[in-house]
Amino acid sequence: MLLEARDVTVRFGGLVAVDNVSASLRAGELVGIIGPNGAGKTTFFNAVSGVLQPTSGQLLLEGDDLTGRGPHQFAKHGLARTFQTPRVFADMTVLANIEFGLKFAGRRPRKYWLWGEEASVPWALRDAQRILELIGLQAQAALPAGSITPSQQRLLEIGMALATRPRLLLLDEVAAGLTEAEIENMAALVKRLRDELNLTVVWIEHAVRTLLKHVERVIVLHQGRKIADGTPAEVTRNPEVIEAYLGDEMVEEGEVIA
């Protein structure tokens, strides 16, 4: 098992934002997390990435207990993430942002790419130029990151996360604010990253229809609790999920997944 979250609870004073949530992620999975606003999705992400210390519960990455550790420890163990609002260095070039990600991961240019730790790194993640090609931003390499479009900044943040050479990638609403065509392109990229880089990807998204078409498993949160965990077909037929979240949005339109 790549990641195990066991009975994770996060409280803010009297508010229980995440309520005893458990989830297991296997290598190579493409998993979606959905739920209404305030369901606890991002708080759960913050807990399982070390950004926020859980009030109780346990977090294990490949069996190593990282509960209470900082984000750098999770990154060291191969976890990378994006945020709802892209976090890029606006005054640095697009290329320099990716190079920062490489340096953050402790990687340095090597004369012989097939030697040492680089031998296990996919070719697409060997250097900044290759990563820009992978995410489709090679033409913007010399531009300040603050001057590119919001959708391109989302791609850039994904590229910065990939530069740390993760095994587990957490994506927090990377389709937010995108056009319908851009959302489909983003979904295709997410699936390609999983397939070509052998990543485990967990994706929070409000573009539910798109997410359900592309992921293999869905976790549904509601009021901080996990109310479902299964295939898209199973989840969209779950009465509790329909009542809590999908009823008005999909079922009435006949869009339950076959």
Two tokens, residue 241: 């999920």
pLDDT of 247 > 70? The answer is: no
Residue with tokens 């869905």: 218
* Phi/psi of residue 59, nearest 5 degrees: -125, 125
Residues 143 and 182 in one domain: no
Average pLDDT, stretch 170-194?
93
Residues 252 and 126 in one domain: no
For residues 144 and 109, the model is more confident at: 144
**Cross-strand bridge partners of residue 79:** 168
Number of other residues whose CB lies within 10 A of the CB of residue 126: 17
Domain CATH for 177: 3.40.50.300
Stated length of the chain: 258
pTM above 0.95, yes or no: no
Domain end call among 148, 165, 182: 165
Q: How many CA atoms lie within 13 A of 14 on its CB side?
A: 0
Q: Are strands 3-12 and 79-81 parallel, antiparallel or unpaired?
A: unpaired
CA distance readout (Å), 209 to 4, 86, 144, 219: 27, 23, 34, 14
Average pLDDT, stretch 195-212?
91
Residues 73 and 128 in one domain: no
Residues 141 and 201 in one domain: no
Residues 48 and 114 in one domain: no
Query: What pLDDT score was predicted for residue 93?
Result: 98
Domain end call among 125, 146, 165: 165
Please give the single-letter amino acid code of residue 74. Answer: F
Domain end call among 165, 181, 199: 165
Query: What pLDDT score was predicted for residue 114?
Result: 45
Residues 93 and 141 in one domain: yes
| Parent domain of 143 | 85-165
Residues 180 and 71 in one domain: yes
Express each pLDDT in 37-65 by its tens digit.
899 999 999 999 999 999 999 999 999 99
Q: How many domains does the chain have?
A: 2
Nearest to 122 by CA among 166, 169, 82, 77: 166
Two tokens, residue 94: 């697009």
3-class DSSP state of 6: strand
Express each pLDDT in 133-151 by its tens digit.
999 999 999 999 999 999 9
Express each pLDDT in 58-101 by its tens digit.
999 999 999 999 999 999 999 999 998 889 999 999 999 999 98
Residues 124 and 250 in one domain: no
pLDDT of 209 > 50? The answer is: yes
Q: What percentage of the chain carries pLDDT values higher than 90?
A: 76
Residues 186 and 257 in one domain: yes
Residues 188 and 153 in one domain: no
What DSSP character marks residue 25?
Answer: E
